[in-house]
Structure 1
């Protein structure tokens, strides 16, 4: 693992990263989902794509990349872009899982792989809407104590700045951002995914002018449970001229 300080919007971010296949001719950037880190992506893909230079990044606030600011998805993309420039990397291709899919889309790489990406807002179930309404009603009386009772698993245990960041990114409608991406895209989705259901993948595929969608066996982490099939589809896409 290495650390690279990068400057973005008046703040220095120390980005933790790993590089595999350093002699690779093209650059392949891997971006993890919310609450995860680069180790998850490295576990899935480090032994694949031998002709590519792999760049695995801990997004600020996760893994070994620290963060004490409140950020937006656009900030994350700006920080990653500054990091790639700092290490002399190109945006030949990017792979993003879940939240990382939104960041990868904003990078506008030559080729984009989305793994169960976030970014499409679906109607919330009745019980979730009730919980949100109750939280808003009780929040003035309990502050942080009430937050601990109602916070989602994705936000549990976060420092305040990361909780505010989570609120910034959790319900973003990225429809226009996906539609603006006009280069080749591969969308892989777990058929049993409940975090970002297959319907969201179908919506993104309909928005992107040059996208192909494949539904895979498995849940939100289908690529860990079925790596061979996932890698085969990615290789076919990445190696197409």
Structure 2
């Protein structure tokens, strides 16, 4: 594990990252793995560490997760700017990667960040970014939380599961990013996109994947067996489908 101090809007962000396959001859590119909300780079390493062996891998803990501490309130675009600065840092400190294409790979929340950063190619894994109707139980909890706030009552037990155990800055960040409509960002993405999805995903339903694939100007859609974390057991299949698509068959 390595740590880079990235300066952004007057604050220093310690970003933890790991580089794998750095010494392989003639890598086909650098895969930049961005995890989902509440996760970390270790999950992405477990999933993809034994696949895409002819690529260099860059695993990153997004600010506020894993070993990347954060005390600042952020939006998704802030995450993208911070990671973009980290990628510039990586190119500067690892000259062998300077001429390599950086291919963004994003799961869930990381998919939104990856979409903002992708230039040539983008791999999405059950990405967030499409708003879907909330169940009645969730809407009731939100209403109750707002009532408690209006009465000056702190009701942390009403927080969404993804907001548990967060410091105050990260809780505010969660509220900033959880209900973003990223439709325009998907439309404006000019990268060649490969959209992979779990057929039984209940966190980001299959219909969201179909919508994202239709919004992206250049995309291919691959529904696979599994739930929101389908990629944990499907990395080799994802690699095979990606290679077939990029090589024309």
State whether TM-score is above 0.5: yes
Paired residue for 1:204, among 200, 208, 212?
212
Is structure 2 residue 86 aligned with structure 1 residue 80?
no
From the superposition, tell whether residues 239 and 160 of structure 1 become closer, same or farther in structure 2 (CA, over 3 Å). Answer: farther
Q: Equivalences for 1:1-241 in 2 at 5 Å? A: 1-23=1-23, 24-88=27-91, 91-144=101-154, 146=155, 148-237=156-245
Q: Please, what TM-score do these two structures have when normalized by structure 1?
A: 0.94
Q: Please, what TM-score do these two structures have when normalized by structure 2?
A: 0.91
Residues in 2 aligned to 1:29 and 1:13: alpha-carbon distance in whole angstroms: 18
Q: Deviations over 1:35-71 (max 9, x none)?
A: 0000011111112112211100000100001111000
Structure 2, unpaired ranges of 5+? 92-96
Residues in 1 aligned to 2:19 and 2:136: alpha-carbon distance in whole angstroms: 45
Residues in 2 aligned to 1:197 and 1:61: alpha-carbon distance in whole angstroms: 26
What is the CA-CA distance between 1:7 and the residue it aligns to? 1.2
Aligned length in residues? 239
What is the CA-CA distance between 1:239 and the residue it aligns to? 5.3
Residues in 1 aligned to 2:76 and 2:89: alpha-carbon distance in whole angstroms: 20
Secondary structure, counterpart of 2:237 in structure 1? helix
Secondary structure, counterpart of 2:138 in structure 1? helix
Residues in 2 aligned to 1:18 and 1:205: alpha-carbon distance in whole angstroms: 30
Residues in 1 aligned to 2:221 and 2:106: alpha-carbon distance in whole angstroms: 15
Residues in 1 aligned to 2:51 and 2:243: alpha-carbon distance in whole angstroms: 8
What is the CA-CA distance between 1:234 and the residue it aligns to? 2.9
What is the CA-CA distance between 1:30 and the residue it aligns to? 0.5
What is the CA-CA distance between 1:240 and the residue it aligns to? 5.8
Whether contact under 8 Å (1:111, 1:238) holds in the other structure is: no
Whether contact under 8 Å (2:119, 2:190) holds in the other structure is: no
What is the CA-CA distance between 1:238 and the residue it aligns to? 5.2
Residues in 2 aligned to 1:238 and 1:166: alpha-carbon distance in whole angstroms: 35
What is the CA-CA distance between 1:91 and the residue it aligns to? 5.0
Residues in 1 aligned to 2:33 and 2:247: alpha-carbon distance in whole angstroms: 17
Residues in 1 aligned to 2:107 and 2:203: alpha-carbon distance in whole angstroms: 12
Whether contact under 8 Å (1:101, 1:114) holds in the other structure is: yes
What is the CA-CA distance between 1:13 and the residue it aligns to? 1.0
Secondary structure, counterpart of 1:87 in structure 2? helix
